[in-house]
Each structure stands twice: as structure tokens, then as C-alpha cells.
Structure 1
Amino acid sequence: MANDPIGLRTDSYEHTAFTFLGYTVRARKNRSRHGNLFLGFDPAISRDALKKISREARGWHLHTPTDLTFQELARRANPKVAGWINYYGRFRPWEPIPFVTRINTYLLPWIRKKYKRLSAKRKALAKLQEIARRYPRMFAHWRLSPSQSAVLV
């Protein structure tokens, strides 16, 4: 197979991937516990599922309700986001990180509109990072480890 990243699959096959219940199962690079690379047939969030949940989160318009507090925004978003993280992060927990980063990106305009003194993007980002450090369990996606939560937008 020409695009085999490790060189273990020598034959060509008609079907190399399939999508089922929002997961795409295909050949992916893995590392054994001894540090060796091998090619495994593993599930991860499909591109279509990632687009679908991103579209739904964008439809929440998190940046517009400036009358709400940060806790109220978290209360609105957390049930869905936690469910998505638990479901799609089951096999390869780093795969939903682009979506998690997008949620933080949606929070940035909200904080800039809510607090006029934070209208500069740099100040708003610093405030968002400070809030995430102070209250790491406020949003469901902030509960992930710091390397996975991608608080740095």
C-alpha cells in the first residue's frame, strides 16, 4: 500500500475505512507499550460528526447573550459538551480537541462584548485563561488535562 505510514501493510485493499455511529474506523498509527510504531485499525470521531457538533455549538450563539453570567453560559453548554467529550473521546481522547478549542473561541467574543475594558483581544484572552485557571471545572471541556483542554485559544 503506497500511503502506509509504517510499511506493515503490503497488500492493497478495496475497503480501508468505514463510519459507524459517528466514528470512523480506519488504519491509524499507534505506539506499543515498548515504543514501537504499528498500524492499527482504530475508531475515532468522524469528520462528519465533528462538523455536526461544531455546527450545533455555533448555533448556540454563545457570543451574543451578554446578559448572562459565565456560570449561566457554562450551565447551558456543559450537558451537551460533556456528553460529546465522553462519547467521542472514548477511544482517542485527543481527537475532539479541535472542537474543544472552538468552544473557547466562541467564548472570547462573549467576554469582549460583556466587559468593554476587555475589548482588546489580548486582554480578553488573558482574562479567559485566568478564569480557566481559577475555575478549571466550570466548563466541561476545561475539566480535561491542561494539555488537552486547549485553553490557549
Structure 2
Amino acid sequence: MYCKDANRRQNHDVTEFTFLGFTFRPRTARTGNGGLFVSFHGWMRYYGAFNRTALHPLLERINSYLLRWIRKKYRRLRTVKKALRAYQSAVRAYPVMFRHWRWTPHAWRTG
């Protein structure tokens, strides 16, 4: 049995097996460039077709989670003001890094 994943890319005859009715095989959930929110983008397009502005609070909440991650990851950006400034510069420099930034680049201010 060869357990194939992103780090092990060799080809072998047997790369999947069934155990107690569950089939174990390599996953293909990521895009070619390593993107994570493929299904999220489809979800945005589907619900955004009906009422895009209703999604803004949710998308801004996701941005606030990114802001909180910045504050926890980088010690020098622990204050809200510094983290918000870094977040806004990232949005300006890479406006297509996250698909939802096209609709709303703003974040809720969390204390």
C-alpha cells in the first residue's frame, strides 16, 4: 500500500483501499496553485447572485478573523491600530489574494 499525498507523488498500482465500507484514497481538494477557498468562491457566487449586500457582514467577519490572525501571528502588530494598518496595506498591495476582498475589503474592528 502506497499512501499518496501532496508530498509523496510517485505512481504505484495500489493507492486506495476500502476498510469497513470507507474508501481511502488521495484527496484532490486543493487547486493547482494551492488555493483553499474553491468551494467558498462558488458559495459566494451562488448567494451573491440573489443579494450581494447581505453577504457583506459575513465577509467582513472573515476579514476580522484575518485581522485577529495577524495580531496573534506577529508580535509587533499586536495593537489593533498597527494590525489594521498592516491589513489595509496587504489589501492594497494584493487585492486579489482572497476572492472576497473584491466585494468587501473592510474588516470589523475587534478589540
Question: Shorter-chain TM-score category?
Answer: 0.5 to 0.7
Residue in 2 aligned with 1:126? 85
Pairing partner for 2:74 from 110, 115, 119: 115
Q: Structure 2: any 5+ residue segments left out of the alignment?
A: 1-33
Q: Show structure 1 runs of 4+ deviating over 4 A.
A: none
TM norm structure 1: 0.45
Instruction: From the superposition, tell whether residues 137 and 150 of structure 1 become closer, same or farther in structure 2 (CA, over 3 Å).
Output: closer
Alignment partner of 1:151 is 2:106: yes
Choose from 80, 88, 91 the match for 2:50: 91
Checking the alignment, whether the CA contact within 8 Å between 2:59 and 2:100 is kept in structure 1 is yes
- For the 8 Å contact 1:100–1:141, the answer to whether it is kept is yes
Q: Which has the higher strand share?
A: 1
Amino acid at match of 1:89: G
- Calculate the TM-score normalised by the size of structure 2: 0.61
Match of 1:137 among 79, 96, 99: 96
Matched letter for residue 136 of structure 1: P
Deviation for aligned residue 1:114: 1.3
Give the number of equivalent residue pairs: 76
- Deviation at 1:133? 0.9
Residue type of the alignment partner of 1:99: L
Offset, 1:150? 4.3
SS of residue paired to 2:51: coil
Equivalent residue, structure 1, for 2:61: 102
Identity level (%): 44
**Tell me, which stretches of 5 or more residues in structure 1 are unaligned?**
1-71
